[in-house]
Amino acid sequence: MKIKILIPVYNDWQSVSELLDNIDLSLANVEHEISVLVINDASNHDRVDNDKTFENIISIKLLNMKKNQGHARCIATGLKYIYEKEDFDYVIPMDGDGEDRPEEIKEFINQIEKSSGKPIVGKRVKRSEGLFFKICYEFHKFFTLTFTGKSIKFGNFTCLPKTTVEKMVNEKATWNSFSGSLTKVEKDFIEIPSIRGDRYFGPSKMSFYNLIKHSLSIISVFRKIFLIRSSLFIILYILLIKSNASIITAIPLVFLLVAVYAISNLALRENMEEFDKALSNINDIDKIK
């Protein structure tokens, strides 16, 4: 099989260099063609050129973007490039900082024969962040399930067959949210346990603000269901508190209305015309190996 590993990066070259080394080590005795596509999201820090020898990775390409478009669109561009320009059977998108652990790639590959062509997702069973972030992440999952009916316990770290990649590059939601789009186009997944690793260098880029944006972007993919459930919640909640209304009891309503506004704005990021032109943002391509 021909498997492509897709890695977005922005100003984190030290981590990506370490990741490529660890991916190469993790692929020992793997009898498939594994190649890597790194998407440079218009970094303003130069990449350090190191002479390295990779024994198990067949090839490494670096796509340099003209302008920065963010993590989700970076992955979307990579999927589109692979689908249109490369010969492949599966794609494994993963973060470039070490939080998606390269030693789990082998388990994805082992599951392919059992998957019957279904996408394989890394279900988070353990996270490396602090307690406050973990609580917020659990609330994100609860809020998403409550208002969309979707239980999404995975991120970018997945293994996608070519049929799924085709669906995603033809789905405008991919331009906005990877996990939201994957949940929309596929109803059945194979899950493997995935432990969130520690960053190789520097602090995590998943801040509280980014977590909120990530959560609302996923929900925006299912905005019709969200708006219906939100409306029902607002009506029932008003009926419940009408005899005991106060500033305190109004807080959930304010929170939900702000969420509705934010989700409506994030939904505007779903732009198929922009997605179709994604490859025009490629400035040049470097072949590292």
pLDDT at 206 (0 to 100):
66
Q: How far is CA 140 from CA 90, 169, 208, in A?
A: 29, 26, 11
Q: How many CB atoms lie within 10 A of CB 278?
A: 22
- Please state the separation of Cα 218 from the chain's center in Å: 10
pLDDT at 50 (0 to 100):
65
Q: What is the rounded average pLDDT for all residues in the chain? A: 91
pLDDT at 196 (0 to 100):
87
Q: How confident is the model at residue 52 (pLDDT cuts 50, 70, 90)?
A: confident
CB within 8 Å of 37: residues ≥ 6 apart: 4, 5, 6, 7, 60, 61, 63, 78, 81, 82, 86
pLDDT at 49 (0 to 100):
65
Q: How confident is the model at residue 136 (pLDDT cuts 50, 70, 90)?
A: confident
Q: DSSP assignment, residue 175?
A: G
Rg (CA), the chain: 20
Strands 282-287 and 59-65: antiparallel
Q: How confident is the model at residue 279 (pLDDT cuts 50, 70, 90)?
A: very high
pLDDT at 59 (0 to 100):
95
pLDDT at 166 (0 to 100):
98
pLDDT at 133 (0 to 100):
74
pLDDT at 198 (0 to 100):
86
Percent residues over pLDDT 90 in the chain = 75
Q: Identify the weakest region by mean pLDDT among 15-19, 87-91, 202-206, 225-229.
A: 202-206
pLDDT at 160 (0 to 100):
98
Q: What is the mean pLDDT of residues 131-158?
A: 88
Q: How confident is the model at residue 257 (pLDDT cuts 50, 70, 90)?
A: very high
pLDDT at 124 (0 to 100):
81
Report all structural domains of the chain as residue ranges with CATH numbers, in order of start: 2-205+271-287 (3.90.550.10)
What would the pLDDT profile of 75-129 be if each residue is shown by its tens digit? 999 999 999 999 999 999 999 999 999 999 999 999 998 888 999 999 987 665 6
pLDDT at 48 (0 to 100):
65
Q: What is the mean pLDDT of residues 245-268?
A: 90
